[in-house]
């Protein structure tokens, strides 16, 4: 009796030839034989930027320094065994004493520990910088984006407002506000720097949105019936935020330096609050006798400003393919 069950195998009778790129049944059509791209090669702006940042030593060095500053601002007691706000730790008999094993950065003219003052002054200096930059980002980015996307009368009105604010010198405007308004010292500085600091963010956001709003993918979304608000939020803004982020990061250093300058002039943060600017202002008259009380706070300020600027430049290089 003949066996009717035909055993089929590779290349056997009754099998269809296995053709690369097709399924065995021939019903699903061509099947791609190319291996899927690994996750790291699926291009996106954020992934590409992070891949570039990981290769940048400047990014890691500046980020590490900023992380240390942030940790000091959050928990100054972990970095100094002396509470700078405790006046009992000051000793006038040790006024302007130089660095020693017990007091690494020496003592100031009141006999207080310079190192402790720098540690506890970090919080106020960085707090002003982060609050101002965050506030200017929240104010300037939406205004600039709306003006650049909708154009017309909206753009004209915002452009004229920007022209008016830009006609006032930034530093002078903040000085007038601080002298005129009677506000708590830190919040007075925040208000002054925010009121006249959002214009640059708005201008950058407006220019970035204008460069993106007529792109092909925006036109495609518009032809598919997407609303203007959806196009702005889902398609335009994610592709226009890169320059705004760069400017925001770089401006952090400038804001910290501006706060120190106002405090140095006596119109910013005021005692008993501690900040780097106040320490530099107090030290100027003792420069000839005790350089350490000026050198160390100024060094802490310069290092912080430089770190923020370097971080901003690293982010700029990563987000702009033309620079690579």
How many angstroms separate the Cα of 41 from the Cα of each of 30, 36, 38? 24, 10, 6
Q: Each residue of 28-55: pLDDT tens digit?
A: 444 444 444 444 444 566 777 788 888 8
Residue pointed to by tokens 């022209």: 163
How many angstroms separate the Cα of 33 from the Cα of each of 21, 22, 39, 43? 6, 9, 18, 21
Residue 178 tokens read as 């601080």
Residues in Cβ contact with 143 at an 8 Å cutoff, skipping those fewer than 6 apart = 158, 198, 202, 205
pLDDT at 16: 43
pLDDT at 187: 85
Q: How far is CA 267 from the centre of its chain?
A: 26
Residue 238 tokens read as 């994610």
Q: Helix, strand, coil % (nearest 5) of the chain?
A: 65, 0, 30
Report how far residue 272's alpha carbon sits from residue 131's, in angstroms, rounded to the nearest whole number.
Answer: 21
Kindly give the parts of the chain with pLDDT less than 70: 1-45, 183-184, 320-324
pLDDT at 138: 93
How many angstroms separate the Cα of 67 from the Cα of each of 61, 115, 126, 307? 10, 19, 12, 10
Crossing angle of helices 114-150 and 185-195, rounded to 10°: 30
pLDDT at 132: 92
How many angstroms separate the Cα of 110 from the Cα of each of 89, 118, 148, 159, 183? 10, 15, 54, 51, 27
Task: Annotate 27-88 with three-state secondary structure.
Answer: CCCECCCCCCCCHHHCCCHHHHHHHHHHCCHHHHHHHHHHHHHHHHHHCHHHCCCCCCCCHH
pLDDT at 22: 46
Residue 197 tokens read as 């600091």
Q: Each residue of 221-248: pLDDT tens digit?
A: 888 888 888 888 888 888 888 888 888 8
| Contacts by residues 61-69 (CB-CB < 8 Å, ≥ 24 positions apart) | 61/310, 62/307, 62/308, 62/310, 62/311, 62/314, 63/311, 65/303, 65/304, 65/307, 66/304, 66/307, 66/308, 66/311, 69/122, 69/126, 69/304, 69/307
Report how far residue 286's alpha carbon sits from residue 291's, in angstroms, rounded to the nearest whole number.
Answer: 7
pLDDT at 71: 95
Q: Would you tell me which CATH number, out of the four given (3.40.1380.10, 1.20.140.10, 1.10.3720.10, 3.40.190.290), belongs to the domain 45-77+103-323?
A: 1.10.3720.10
What predicted TM-score, i.e. pTM, was given to this entire model? 0.76
Residue pointed to by tokens 């509470």: 83
């Amino acid at each position: 009796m003949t066996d009717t069950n035909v055993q089929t195998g590779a290349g056997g009778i009754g099998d269809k030839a296995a053709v690369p790129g097709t399924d065995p049944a021939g019903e699903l059509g061509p099947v791609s034989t190319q291996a899927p791209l690994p996750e790291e090669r699926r291009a996106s702006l954020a992934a590409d930027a992070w891949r570039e940042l990981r290769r940048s030593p400047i990014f890691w060095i500046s980020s590490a320094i900023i992380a240390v500053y942030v940790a000091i601002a959050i928990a100054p007691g972990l970095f100094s065994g002396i509470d700078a706000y405790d006046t009992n730790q000051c000793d006038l008999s040790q006024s302007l004493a130089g660095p020693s094993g017990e007091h690494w950065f020496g003592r100031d003219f009141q006999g207080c520990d310079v190192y402790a003052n720098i540690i506890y002054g970090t919080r106020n200096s960085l707090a002003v910088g982060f609050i101002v930059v965050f506030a200017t980002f929240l104010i300037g980015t939406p205004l600039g984006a709306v003006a650049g996307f909708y154009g017309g009368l909206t753009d004209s009105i915002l452009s004229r407002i920007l022209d008016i604010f830009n006609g006032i010198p930034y530093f002078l405007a903040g000085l007038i506000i601080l002298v005129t308004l009677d506000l708590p010292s830190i919040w007075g500085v925040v208000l002054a720097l925010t009121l006249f600091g959002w214009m640059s963010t708005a201008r950058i956001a407006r220019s970035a949105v204008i460069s993106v709003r007529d792109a092909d993918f925006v036109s495609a979304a518009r032809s598919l019936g997407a609303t203007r608000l959806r196009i702005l939020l889902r398609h335009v803004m994610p592709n226009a935020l890169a320059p705004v982020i760069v400017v925001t990061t770089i401006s952090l250093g400038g804001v910290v330096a501006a706060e120190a300058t106002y405090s140095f002039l006596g119109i910013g943060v005021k005692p008993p609050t501690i900040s780097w600017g106040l320490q530099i202002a107090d030290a100027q008259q003792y420069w000839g006798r005790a350089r350490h009380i000026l050198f160390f706070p100024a060094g802490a300020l310069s290092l912080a400003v430089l770190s923020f600027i370097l971080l901003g430049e690293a982010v700029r290089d990563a987000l702009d393919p033309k620079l690579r």
